[in-house]
């Protein structure tokens, strides 16, 4: 074979391999096996510092996909750009309005709403925040709960009766949730403050015009002194101890066990939710609730559900942009309240056969802090507080984190909740 033909052959092979590196990720599943090869950047010895010098605004933004609390197979890894964040500013300066409101707790309630994903299910983390504030400023009860609780809580045990027998939430009134699949969403945005609503007398559920909810406190703090029922005026109710009997036709947005003064802390978990849902909730309804219930601090804990599904910096950037819009929307509904955003914890995945931190976790953490400072809200970095990259593995070793490398064990959640509560309270000394 002539030399020029050999050269052409080699050039074609190299071009083909380069195209493979560009078009496909550095790994693909092959039956039960996984094939690996270097990326084009590795072949050309382009450093991550070079990739990190890209401007964020130049990244093409992707639409938000549907997110679930599960780890998909073989994400594509792309080195994130550099994000410059002010590391000096103590973002607790943006909690000053909330701190000032605590002077009112001797004669009225001050409400804290804790929205989050599955990391706060069961009242995890929220419970420690509630205990810290109620022990210092008074208050009682676990606060808001849906009419039908689908996930067990450490704060209250709920049982639902219909047609004189106990039923599961799925057997009870039709429920709509802002973070559910589209078939279980509402077009009018009337979800109430918890992002979910139960519709009594739904034509598909016989007997749902007569509901009995038995809500037994498990919370070890001060016992609640009053009930509140958030529902349409067409829904009537009566109270007897831990039991609420409701009748009529209409929407039930939530029940609340609380006190007439002190701090009330509500746990509002949204499983599988990324947090880009608040703009789907009716503005007038939210504004009215926040004002009438004296909501002075809103905690938003989201972002973790984006990490397993997306390893493209452009997508993460777009998600943080969407979260910024949610912050702005909530601020417009309650301009006098403070907002605290809690970023995702460290999260682990297998990379080249080893459990390592998802590359986008530190990137999203820095983007969220940057967003928070620009929106004048407080930011608590779970990722940095845990110890940064690889810290979830250490938490697993000492029994604080689950085997999935994503969620805390209850002991870990207690530790994290106490850290958040102490961080907030310590900020008052700077006032």
Q: What is the pLDDT of residues 284-301, one digit of tens each?
A: 999 999 999 999 999 999
Q: Which domains does the chain have, with CATH numbers?
A: 23-139+261-431 (3.40.50.1110), 143-259 (no CATH)
Q: For residue range 37-55, what is the model confidence (pLDDT) as tens digits?
A: 554 444 443 333 333 333 3
What average pLDDT does this structure show over 228-242? 96
Residue 182 pLDDT > 50, yes or no?
yes
30 pLDDT above the threshold of 90: no
401 pLDDT exceeds 70? yes
Is 244 a residue whose pLDDT tops 80? yes
Tell me the CA end-to-end span of the chain in Å, nearest whole number.
82
Q: How far apart are CA 28 and CA 21, in angstroms?
A: 12
251 DSSP β-pair partners: 199
Rounded average pLDDT over 201-223: 89
- Cα angle, residue 323 at apex, residues 132 and 179 outer, rounded to 5°: 80
Mean pLDDT of the chain: 85
CA 139, CA 223: separation in Å to the nearest integer? 9
Angle, helices 410-426/126-137, rounded to nearest 10 degrees? 40
- The mean pLDDT of 135-155, rounded to a whole number, is 93
Distance (Å, rounded) from C-alpha 208 to C-alpha 129? Answer: 35
pTM: 0.81
Q: Count CB atoms within 10 A of the CB of residue 210.
A: 15
């Amino acid at each position: 074979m002539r030399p020029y033909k050999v050269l052409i052959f080699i050039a074609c092979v190299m071009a083909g391999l380069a195209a493979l590196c560009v078009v496909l990720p550095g790994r693909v599943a092959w039956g039960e096996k996984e094939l690996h090869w270097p990326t084009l950047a590795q072949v050309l010895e382009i450093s991550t510092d070079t990739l990190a010098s890209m401007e964020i605004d130049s990244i093409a933004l992707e639409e938000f996909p549907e997110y679930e609390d599960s780890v998909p197979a073989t994400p594509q890894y792309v080195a994130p750009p550099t994000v410059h964040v002010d590391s000096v500013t103590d973002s607790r300066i943006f909690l000053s309005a909330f701190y000032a409101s605590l002077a009112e707790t001797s004669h009225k309630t001050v409400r804290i709403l804790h929205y989050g994903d599955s990391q706060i299910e069961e009242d995890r983390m929220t419970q420690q925040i509630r205990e810290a504030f109620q022990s210092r400023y008074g208050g009682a009860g676990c606060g808001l709960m849906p009419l039908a609780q689908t996930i067990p809580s450490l704060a209250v045990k709920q049982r639902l009766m219909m047609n004189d027998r106990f039923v599961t939430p799925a057997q009870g009134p039709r429920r709509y949730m802002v973070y559910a699949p589209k078939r279980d969403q509402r077009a009018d945005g009337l979800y109430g403050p918890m992002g979910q609503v139960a519709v009594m007398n739904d034509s598909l559920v016989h007997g749902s015009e007569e509901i009995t909810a038995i809500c037994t406190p498990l919370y070890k703090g001060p016992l609640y002194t009053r009930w509140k029922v958030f529902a349409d005026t067409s829904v009537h109710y009566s109270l007897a101890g831990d039991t609420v009997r409701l009748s009529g036709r209409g929407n039930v947005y939530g029940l609340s066990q609380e006190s007439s003064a002190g701090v009330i802390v509500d746990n509002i978990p949204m499983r599988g939710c990324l947090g880009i849902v608040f703009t789907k909730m009716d503005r007038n309804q939210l504004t009215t609730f926040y004002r009438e219930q004296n909501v002075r601090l809103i905690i938003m804990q989201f972002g973790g559900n984006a990490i397993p599904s997306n390893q493209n910096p452009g997508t993460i950037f777009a998600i943080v942009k969407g979260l910024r819009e949610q912050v702005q929307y909530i601020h417009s509904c309650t301009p006098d309240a403070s907002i605290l955003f809690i970023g995702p914890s460290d999260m682990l995945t297998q990379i080249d056969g080893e459990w390592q931190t998802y590359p986008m976790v530190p990137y999203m953490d820095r983007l969220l802090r940057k967003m928070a400072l620009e929106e004048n809200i407080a930011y608590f970095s779970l990722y940095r507080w845990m110890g940064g990259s690889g810290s979830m593995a250490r938490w697993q070793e000492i029994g604080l984190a689950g085997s999935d490398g994503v969620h805390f064990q209850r002991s870990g959640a207690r530790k994290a909740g106490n850290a958040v509560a102490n961080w907030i309270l310590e900020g008052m000394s700077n006032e």
